[in-house]
Amino acid sequence: MAAEVRNIPPAPAAALPRVARRHLDGWRLLLIPTLAFLLLFFLYPLGFVGSRSLPGFSVAFYESIATVPVYLKVIVQTFRTSVVVTLVCLLLGYPYAYAMAHSRGWRLTLLSICLLLPFWVSLLLRTFAWMVLLQDTGIINSALISAGIIDQPLHLIRNVLGVSIGMTHILLPYVVLPIYSVMRKIDPKLMEAASISGARPLRAFVRVFFPLSLPGVFAGALLAFTLGLGFYITPALLGGARNTMIAQLIAGQITEQLNFGFGSALAIVLLVLTALAFGLFGLFLKAGRHQINLSGL
């Protein structure tokens, strides 16, 4: 009898009471403002940009992007810089998030303030601050020369190193916060159980804690990578002519050369490549979860 009750299919929407159907319709009506906002401020501008990139349904702009080596080099440089910055953010952000997850009281408050304080300063000011620190006559080179450590100033700006430092400083909180939010939900008793079972601290961390923190790692890496693809101010101020990123190229085409069609095509290419990156991250995350489940078995 109990099995028959469990196998009863749910009642169709037509069989629901009239009050319940009205309640569902009311909730659907609440979606109208959100859908209208997305249509007006996202889908319509996106369609307009896409139409500008295909004048007369011609794909000449996209052919230029795919065949001219300069544009391909800029795209590769953009992805390479974003990957490097993402890896550096993970290397710096994971220990910081671990320290936050295992801190209490004033230590947690201090770590949180140090992490969130840059959000109170505009991105432009932070980039100018790095220019003051990294330039040849800046604070870092002046201090190293005064200490006798170096004789000539180090080239810390107008190159990939300067861009990576500035982007890492800006994107680091976006990596730390997702990892910390996942770490704080991990039950500490799991590590105690692993220790009681004979696992050393390092082995318990690798086999228990680290796999459970991977969702936060993937989320932080996805945020840092996708945000890094669209950076403009930091590469423009800290990078050189050889370190141009695609956002700078788009801005130059629109504001300097007034080539709105080609700039729109570059923007669509960036959007498509970012969507592909999202998809690859999703597949990687799915494979990682599958591997964790297999290891748990």
Query: What's the CATH code of the domain at 255?
Result: 1.10.3720.10
Assigned domain for 16 exists: no
Q: For residues 15-40, give the mean pLDDT.
A: 72
Q: What is the pLDDT of residue 25?
A: 61
Which H or E run contains 133? helix 123-134
Flag whether pLDDT at 117 surpasses 90: no
Question: Does some domain include residue 188?
Answer: yes
Is residue 77 a part of any domain in this protein? yes
As for how many domains the chain has, the answer is 1
Tell me which residue range forms the domain holding 247.
60-296
Q: Is residue 254 part of a domain?
A: yes
CA–CA dist 252, 270 (Å, integer): 15
pLDDT over 70 for what percent of the chain? 88
Taking Cα atoms as reference points, which of 219, 199, 222 lies closest to residue 209? 199
Q: 138-159: string of b/e by CB count within 10 Å (b at 16+)?
A: bebbeeeeeeeeeeebeebbbe
pLDDT 10s digits, 251-280: 999 888 889 999 999 999 999 988 888 888
Question: pTM of this prediction?
Answer: 0.83
Q: Is residue 7 part of a domain?
A: no
Distances (CA, A) of 185 to 50, 179, 188, 265, 294: 43, 10, 9, 43, 22
Q: Considering the domain boundaries, does residue 2 fall inside one? A: no
Structural domain contains residue 15: no
In a domain, 50, yes or no: no
Residue 243 is given by DSSP the state: G
Contacts of 152 (CB under 8 A, 6+ apart): none
